[in-house]
Structure 1
Amino acid sequence: MTATRASTNEIVQIEIQRHKQLQNVDVIAFDMDMTLVRYNNPNVIQSVYNCMIDILQPKFPFLQNKPIDMSFCQRGLVIDITNGYVLKLDNQKRVVKAYFGNSIVPKETIDKVYHDDTQPLASFTGDMGTRFFSLVSFFESSSSLIFRDFSQHLIDESKKTGQPIDNNEFKKMIKVMLEAYNIHFSDFHKGLYYSEFEKNPGKFIYKAPKEVLSFLLDLKSRGVKTILATNSISEYTECVMNYSFGENYHQYFDLVIVQAQKPDFFHGDKPFYYLENHNVKATPDLITSKIQFNTTAMYKGGNVKCLLENLAPLLPKPEEPLSFCYVGDNLIGDVVAPKKINWLTIAIIEEIADPDEVIILKKRQQQKVLVNNGGNSDEENTPISTNTASSYEWGSFFHVHDDHSSLSIDSFWAHLIKNNADIVVPSVFTLAEYFYSDKFDHETLSPCAVVYGAL
C-alpha cells in the first residue's frame, strides 16, 4: 500500500511527537538481558537447552542432548499443556499453526479444539497460565523443541503399545521443566548455565558499543535519571555488566535494581532490599523504603510506588508528575506492564533487524505503523540474527499468512506490541542514534525503526 502525501505528513507528525516526548522524559529505566546487553542468541538457546536436558534426562531418558533445531525455536510460541500441542497464534488469539510432536496438526483438528464450541484461548493474555505456557524470551525458546520431542516419544509409544496417550504426562513434563529452570537459574553458584557463563562470558554476550555508553552518560548529564531494572539475580547482573559495560558500570546509572520481578514490579508492593554489594543475601533487616542514588550498591525487588516517592524530590519540579520511560525486550514484563501505568514504552525487538521481517513491518496498517530499515548496520559487535523469517519453521514472528483465506494478518505478539509499545527498535544502539537525531528521512523515518500511535 502506497502512502499518500497526507498520510506521510501525518506519520511524520506522529514521529516528531514521540521523539519530543522521549527527549523530555525525567526517568528512563532499562532492562539488562537482551536490551542493554546484547546476547549471542544461538549460543544462549543451546546452553539453556543443555541445562534443561541435564535435569530432564534422568526422568525422561529418551530425551537426548543434541545440537538443537533453531528453525523450531521461535520465541512467542505457546505450549498447550492439556493437549501437548505447540501453537502459534494470530492477533485474534486463533491458532494458525500447531505441531503435535513432529507433525503439523490438521486445520480441522485445530478448529475443533480451539475455535468451535469452546474457545480456551479467549482469555489468554500472554502470561503463564495453568493450561498455556508462553515462550516469551529467547531464554525459553528451546522449550518448544524439548516439548516437541517429548510429545513425539509419547506418540511413538502409543503406536507401539496400542494404548492411548495419557495427557497427564504433559503436565508432569511441564512441572519438571519448571523445576529445571529453578535449579539452574535461581542460584548463581549451582546453576550449570551460570557456571558456563562465568568461565566464558564472551561466548554469550557482547561488549556494549561506545555509542551506548556515551548515550547513558549524556542522559545523566542532562538531568535524566537512568535506572537499570532487571529480573536477573545480583551475582549474574554483576558478572554480565562487568563484562559488557566494564567494572565501573555503576557510573552509567543512578540506580541498579536486581530481581525486580517484573511485571509485578509495576503494580505490586514488594519491598526493596538494600544490598551493599552483589554477594549480600537479602534478609528482613535489609528491607528499606529509602533509596540511595548514585552508589555502587544494588537494590533487590521493590515496586514502582516506592521508587516514585524516592525520585520525586530529586527532580527540578518535584510538584509536577514524573515522565517515565521503560526500555526492554520482554513483551509482557517490559512492554505491557509499564504501559498499564501509562509509561512511555520502548520495545527492543531484535527480529526487526532481520531483512525479511523488515519487509513485513513496512506494511502500513490502520495508519498507525511507522517504520524504516532498523539502521544498526554499523553497530559494533552486532549479533548474527538467530534466523531469517524465511527459514522459520513457523514463519514470521510478526506476520501470519492464512492459506485458507489468502489473508495476511498480525501474529498475536505483533498485535500486542502495536497496542502497548510506543517505539520499537532492534537495539539500544539504534535508540541512541534516534534520540539524538532531529531530522528524519520522510520515507523511512531513519534512524528510528518503528513508532506506534496516532495523533
Structure 2
Amino acid sequence: MKSIVAIGFDMDYTLAQYKADTFESLAYAGTIQKLVNNLSYPPELLEWRFDWRFMVRGLVLDKRRGCILKMDRHKYVKVAYHGFRELSREDRQAMYGNTLSRESYDEPDYALIDTLFSLAEAYLFMQLVDFRDAFPDRIPAVVNDYSQLYKDVRAAVDLCHRDGTIKQAVANEPSKYINEDPLIVPMLKMLKQSGRKTFLVTNSLWDYTHVVMNYLCGKCGTDGGIPRDDEWLSYFDVVITGSAKPSFFMDGSRASLFEVDIVTGMLQNTDSGTPMAQIGGVGLQATVLPNPNVKQACRVFQGGCVAHLHKLLSIEAGSQVLYVGDHIYGDILRSKKELGWRTMLVVPELAVELDLLHQTIRTRKGISELRNQRDEIEDSLQRLEWCLRFEEHADEERQKLEQEVAQLREEDEAIREQHRQAQRDCHHMFHKTWGQLMKTGYQNSRFAHQVERFACLYTSHVTNLCYYSPNKSYRTTEDFMPHEL
C-alpha cells in the first residue's frame, strides 16, 4: 500500500451494502409492474414472489435456450437449469458439451450474472421461461423466443431506473434497504489521514449518491432523523457521478466532464475539470485555474473518463491507484487490464462462505479421502483389465484375475456412489441449488477464476480495511503446479 497515492470506491454494493431481502424484492416488484403495465404481460404476474436466496453471482444466463448455467474455470457447464427444471447430465452435455467449437458464453447470446443487481432479473427470467413453456398463449404475441423474454425483462428494469421507482423508495426509507456500517466514516478518515487522496466513481447520479452517502455517514434525512448535509464530501477529494462504467475506464473515451452544482444539481461545462466561463455573464464569471498550493474542497462531477480523473488527482501511473468495487466487469476488469490500477473486489457472500468452510472441514477432508480411495481402486482395476486383455495367462490365473476385476468393479461402483453423495451433501450445505460460490466440483468456478485474474485483493466488506494499517503490504500466497504438491 505504500506505493498507493489514491484510493477510490464504487458506491452501490461497495460502500453501500443493500439488504437483499428488501432491495432486490423492490427491484423485482417494480420490474413485474413494468412488464404488466408497459409491455402487456398478463396481470397474474403481479402475484409472483421473489426468493432472494435462490440466485447467486457467477452464473451465466443462456438467452436462446432459457437456461441458467454454472460452469468451472475452463467454461465446462457443471450445473444447468431450464427455468427451474434441472437438466440431467445427458441433457446438459447434449446442449453444451457436444460441439466442435467451444462456446464463448458472452454477449449477445449469453448474459453474465456478475453483479448482485442482476439476481432479481435472472430469477424473474427463470419464472418467465417456465410460464412460457406451460402457457405459451398467455405471453404477448411478439415474444417468440426466450431471448425476447430477456429483452423485455431488461427493458422493464431500465424503466424502473429511469422513472425513479427504485431510487425514490430507497430515498424515502434508506434504513429499510441499506445496511448500516459504522466503520465507513472511520475508514475514510483513516485513509485521508494517511495522506492519500480518496475518490468516488459511481454510475449513480448526484441526487441518489447524495442520499445514500448521507445515510452511510449517519444522516438519514427522513422524518425524525438527522438532516442531510454535505459533510460526507469532506472524506473525498473528487466525486464522479453518472460515470457510465465500464466505458469510463476506456482510455480513448471522449465523454464530456461536467461539474455538478451540489445545491441545485445543475451541470456546468468544464475543460477536463477546469471551469469554463459562460456567455453573457451567466453562471461562472471567469475561467478559474486551480492553484496547486491551495487545498480545495471536494469537487463533484458527472460523466467524463479516466483521463479526467487522473488529471484531477495528479496521478502519474496506474499502479498508484487502488480501486474498490463489487462488479468484476464494471469495476475490476477494465481498471486492471486497461489502466494497471490495483483492484479490490467486494464479495459480501464471503462472510457466509467462510463460516461454512470452517463448519465443513471434516466433511471436505472425508470427500478428499474418498476421492483418493476411488483413484486407487480405478488404477488397480484398469491395470488388471489391461493385463487380461493383452497378456497371456493360464486358465486358472485368468480366472483368478477375472474374480479380482469383478470385485474391484463392485468396490469402484460403491466408492463412486459414496463419493457422489458426499459431494452432493457438501454442495447443499453451501447452497442447495448452486453449491459453493468459488467452486464447481473440484475446480474453481468461473467466478473464482475471474476473481483470481483481475482482483488484486478481495474481501467481504470494504470496511475490513479498517483492521489494517494504510501502509500494509498485502502479499499473495505462493502458486503451485500440480507436480509441486
Structure (1 or 2) with the greater helix fraction: 2
Confirm or deny: 8 A CA contact 1:327 1:347 kept in the other structure: yes
The SS at the match of 1:49 is helix
What is the match of residue 423 of structure 1? 457
Distance 1:84 1:253 in 2: 44
Work out whether 1:81 is the aligned partner of 2:59.
Answer: no
Alpha carbons 1:345, 1:422 under 8 Å: kept: yes
Distance 2:109 2:147 in 1: 9
Distance in 1 (CA, whole Å) between partners of 2:5 and 2:298 is 22
Residue matched to 2:412 = none
1:144 paired with 2:144, answer no
Which of 229, 238, 255 pairs up with 1:255? 238
Please name the residue that 1:193 is paired with. 166
Please list, as runs of the form range in 1=range in 2, the aligned pairs for 1:55-74 lying within 5 A after superposition.
55-58=34-37, 59-61=40-42, 62-74=44-56
SS in 2 for 1:310: helix
Q: Structure 2 counterpart of 1:32, which letter?
A: M
Please say if residues 389 and 397 of structure 1, whose CA atoms lie closer than 8 Å, have aligned partners that are also in contact. Answer: no
Identity over the aligned pairs, expressed in percent? 25
- Change beyond 3 A, Cα 1:321–1:342: closer
Query: 1:67 is paired with a residue of what secondary structure?
Result: coil
Residue 60 (structure 1) shift: 2.0
The code of the aligned residue for 2:342 comes to L
Say if 1:98 and 1:431 are closer, same or farther in 2 by CA, change over 3 A: same
Which amino acid counterpart does residue 205 of structure 2 have in structure 1? I
**Matches of 1:360 and 1:266, distance apart in 2:** 40
Shift of 1:123: 6.0
Tell me the residue number matched to 1:378.
Answer: none
For residues 252 and 433 of structure 1, do their structure 2 counterparts lie closer, same or farther at Cα, with a shift above 3 Å needed?
Answer: same
With over 3 angstroms needed to count, the CA separation of the structure-2 counterparts of 1:168 and 1:77, relative to structure 1, is: farther
Q: Please, which runs of 5 or more residues in structure 2 have no aligned partner?
A: 220-228, 275-289, 365-427, 481-485
CA contact (8 A) 1:83 1:167 kept: no
Deviation (angstroms), 1:101:
1.9
TM-score where L is the length of structure 1 = 0.75
Normalised TM-score (structure 2): 0.70
Which residue pairs with 2:196 in the alignment? 224
| 1:181 corresponds to | 157
1:405 maps to none
1: CA distance between counterparts of 2:269 and 2:125? Answer: 41
What RMSD over aligned residues (CA atoms) do the two structures have, in Å?
3.1
Moved more, 417-426 or 392-401: 392-401
* SS of corresponding position for 2:152: helix
* 1:23-422 equivalences in 2 (<5 Å): 23-58=2-37, 59-61=40-42, 62-119=44-101, 121-122=103-104, 124=106, 129-157=107-135, 168-186=144-162, 190-209=163-182, 211-245=183-217, 246=219, 247=229, 248-267=231-250, 268-277=253-262, 279-282=264-267, 286-290=269-273, 294-295=296-297, 297-312=299-314, 323-340=320-337, 341-354=339-352, 355-356=354-355, 358-359=357-358, 390-401=430-441, 408-422=442-456
Q: Aligned-pair distance for 1:23? A: 3.6
Unaligned runs of 5+ residues in structure 1 are: 1-21, 364-387, 402-407, 440-447
Q: 1:120 to 1:149 in 2, by over 3 A?
A: farther
8 Å CA contact retained: 1:356, 1:390 = no
Alpha-carbon distance between aligned partners in 1 of 2:296 and 2:12, rounded to the nearest angstrom: 21
Which is higher, the Rg of structure 1 or of structure 2?
2
Q: 2:433, 2:109 → 1: CA distance?
A: 24
Q: CA deviation at 1:70?
A: 2.6
CA distance in 2, matches of 1:134, 1:322: 28
Query: Which secondary structure does the structure 1 equivalent of 2:73 belong to?
Result: coil
Query: Partners in 1 of 2:429 and 2:438 — Cα distance?
Result: 9
Of 79-88 and 351-360, more deviation after overlay is shown by: 351-360
Give per-residue Cα distances to partners, 1:208-248, cap 9 Å, x unaligned. Answer: 32x33122123223321100111112211111011111431
